[in-house]
C-alpha cells in the first residue's frame, strides 16, 4: 500500500471496516440483492444471511438470537430504548434516571421526554467521570420506570460499574438500559451471566470495524417496549423497514472478529496507549481526563492549559494526525464538551482538550510520530497565547 498518509487516532468516532467485513458485504450488495421478506430464492438467501448475522450478534453478547433487533445504529438504538420504554411504561410512572455524561443520543431523548411530562434525574459523577451505584439507589422512586447508564464514556473513556447498577435496578424491578457502543470488542459481554441484570443494550457496528449506518438493540425477553419505527412486520413486528442486509451481514462478521480474543487485543492496544500517555503527560501543564485505570484500553483524553482545542486539532491535521476535541458529535457546536463540564473541568481547561483513541489502525511508529509532533505543536500554540508565561 506504500506509505501511510495519515495517523488515525479517532477510533471512538468511527473505525475502518475490516477486509473480511467488506468481503462478506460485497456479495449482498451485488447480484444477491434480494429483499429478505421475498419468497424467491435470492430473497430467502438474504433472509438466511440476516438470521446468521443475528446468531453472530447473539453469540458475541452471550444472548439469544430472538433478543437481537437490528437498527440503523447507536443513535436509533438509544432513542428506541429510552423513548420506547418511557411510552410503554408511562402509566406506571414518569421518572427516568440517567447521567449527565451520556451520549446525546440518550440525553436529548431524555430532554425531549421532559417536555412531554416526564421527570429525569441526572446522577452526579465524580471528577473521573464515575457514577456511584449508591447514588443510583438513592435516586430511585416509586414512579421510576427506567435507568439508563452508559457502559463506557466515549469522550473520557471511563468504564461505569454496569453490573452493580444492574443489580440495584433488578432488585427494584426497574428496566435497565446501557449504551454499550464503546465497549464491543473491549469488554467481554455475557447477557446470561455477568450482565444478567441488563435489560437493554445498544451497539453500533462502525465502532467495532463494521460498516456505518447499522447497529442493534439487545432487548431481554419479556421486557416491555413500544415500537419506534412503525410500518412493515420486520424484526418480529418491532422495528419496521427493509433490513440493511449488507450492513447487517458486515456487522455480524465484525462482531465475530471483535470478540474472538478480547484480552489479547486489549493488551496490545493498552501497550501503545500507555506509552503515548506517558509521553504526552511529560508536556508541562497537561492533565489526563477520565479515570486513570477504569478506562477503555484505547482512550486518552488530555487537557492542555493555555490552549484552544480547535487550533490544536487544525495543527495536528496539518501534520496528518486525526484526533478530536470532545466527540465527533459535538464538534461544530460551540462551547466546551458536556462531559468535561460534568466532571468539573473549568471551561478554560475543557476548551483545551484533545481526545486520542487508539485501535487497529495504529502501530508503534504512530506513537513515535505523535510524540514527536504534539509537544512541538503545544509549545507553538502556547507561545501565541497571551495567558501563557513559561516557567523557567
Ligand X SMILES: *Cc1c(COP(=O)(O)O)cnc(C)c1O
Q: Which of 322, 364, 329, 368 is nearest to 11 (CA)?
A: 322
Under the binding rule (CB under 6 A), the answer on residue 179 touching ligand X is: yes
Residue 374 to residue 165: CA distance in whole angstroms = 39
Based on the shown chain and the rule CB under 6 A, indicate whether residue 154 belongs to the binding site for ligand X: yes
Residues 223, 262, 319, 329: which is the catalytic one? 329
Q: Give the residue, chosen from 98, 204, 266, 330, that forms a contact with ligand X under the rule CB under 6 A.
A: 204
If one asks whether residue 105 binds ligand X (CB under 6 A), the answer comes out as yes
CB of residue 294 to ligand X, shortest distance in Å: 16
149 near ligand X (CB under 6 A): no
Q: Which of residues 301-330 bind ligand X (CB under 6 A)?
A: none
CB 172 within 8 Å of CB 98: no
71 is a contact residue toward ligand X (CB under 6 A): no
Question: Between the CA of residue 200 and those of 19, 65, 220, 306, 321, what are the distances in Å?
Answer: 30, 14, 6, 42, 36
Give the interface segment with ligand X, choosing from 118-126, 164-172, 203-211, 369-377 (CB under 6 A): 203-211
Grid coordinates in use for 350? 475543557
Residue sitting closest to ligand X (CB) = 74
Comparing CB distances to ligand X, the nearer of 150 and 169 is: 150
182 belongs to the binding site for ligand X (CB under 6 A)? yes
Q: Report the distance separating Cα 59 and Cα 260, nearest Å.
A: 11
Pair type for strands 200-204 and 215-219: antiparallel
Interhelix angle 74-88/104-114, nearest 10 degrees: 30
> In the chain, where do the E strands start and end?
7-8, 68-71, 95-98, 119-122, 144-148, 176-179, 200-204, 215-219, 286-288, 299-304, 321-322, 353-357
Tell me the site size for ligand X, rule CB under 6 A.
15
Residues 177 and 202 sit within 8 Å (Cβ to Cβ): yes
Stretch that binds ligand X, among 58-66, 175-183, 277-285, 293-301 (CB under 6 A): 175-183
Q: Is 329 a known active-site residue?
A: yes
Smallest distance from ligand X to CB 72, Å = 8
Indicate whether 215 belongs to the interface with ligand X (CB under 6 A). Answer: yes
Residues designated catalytic? 329
The binding site for ligand X (CB under 6 A) comprises 73-75, 78, 103, 105, 150, 154, 179, 181-182, 204, 206-207, 215
Amino acid at each position: 500500500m506504500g506509505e501511510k498518509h495519515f495517523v488515525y487516532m479517532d477510533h471512538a468516532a468511527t473505525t475502518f471496516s475490516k477486509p473480511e467485513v467488506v468481503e462478506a458485504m460485497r456479495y449482498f450488495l451485488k447480484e444477491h440483492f434480494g429483499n429478505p421478506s421475498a419468497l424467491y430464492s435470492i430473497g430467502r438467501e438474504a433472509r438466511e444471511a440476516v438470521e446468521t448475522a443475528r446468531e453472530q450478534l447473539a453469540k458475541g453478547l452471550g444472548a439469544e438470537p430472538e433478543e437481537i433487533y437490528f437498527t440503523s445504529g447507536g443513535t436509533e438504538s438509544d432513542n428506541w430504548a429510552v423513548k420506547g420504554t418511557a411510552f410503554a411504561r408511562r402509566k406506571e410512572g414518569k421518572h427516568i434516571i440517567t447521567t449527565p455524561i451520556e451520549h446525546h443520543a440518550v440525553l436529548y431523548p431524555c430532554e425531549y421526554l421532559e417536555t412531554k411530562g416526564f421527570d429525569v434525574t441526572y446522577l452526579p459523577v465524580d471528577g473521573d467521570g464515575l457514577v456511584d451505584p449508591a447514588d443510583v439507589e438513592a435516586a430511585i422512586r416509586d414512579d421510576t420506570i427506567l435507568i439508563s447508564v452508559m457502559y463506557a464514556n466515549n469522550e473520557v473513556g471511563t468504564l461505569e460499574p454496569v453490573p452493580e447498577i444492574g443489580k440495584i435496578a433488578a432488585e427494584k424491578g426497574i428496566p435497565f438500559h446501557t449504551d454499550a457502543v464503546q465497549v464491543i470488542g473491549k469488554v467481554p459481554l455475557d447477557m446470561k451471566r455477568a450482565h444478567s441484570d441488563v435489560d437493554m443494550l445498544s451497539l453500533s457496528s462502525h465502532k467495532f470495524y463494521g460498516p456505518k449506518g447499522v447497529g442493534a438493540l439487545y432487548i431481554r425477553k419479556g421486557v416491555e417496549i413500544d415500537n419506534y419505527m412503525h410500518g412493515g412486520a420486520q424484526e418480529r413486528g418491532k422495528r419496521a423497514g427493509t433490513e440493511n442486509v449488507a450492513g447487517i451481514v458486515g456487522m455480524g462478521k465484525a462482531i465475530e472478529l471483535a470478540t474472538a480474543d478480547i484480552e489479547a487485543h486489549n493488551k496490545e492496544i493498552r501497550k501503545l496507549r500507555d506509552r503515548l500517555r506517558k509521553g504526552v503527560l511529560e508536556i508541562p501543564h497537561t492533565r489526563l481526563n477520565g479515570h486513570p485505570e477504569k478506562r477503555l484500553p484505547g482512550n486518552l483524553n488530555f487537557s492542555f492549559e493555555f490552549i484552544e482545542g480547535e487550533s490544536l486539532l487544525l495543527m495536528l491535521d496539518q501534520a496528518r494526525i486525526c484526533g478530536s476535541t470532545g466527540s465527533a458529535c459535538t464538534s461544530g457546536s460551540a462551547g466546551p464538551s458536556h462531559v468535561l463540564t460534568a466532571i468539573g473541568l473549568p471551561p478554560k481547561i475543557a476548551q483545551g482538550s484533545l481526545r486520542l483513541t487508539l485501535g487497529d489502525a495504529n502501530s508503534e511508529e504512530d506513537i513515535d510520530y505523535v510524540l514527536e509532533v504534539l509537544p512541538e505543536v503545544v509549545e507553538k500554540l502556547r507561545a501565541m497565547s497571551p495567558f501563557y508565561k513559561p516557567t523557567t
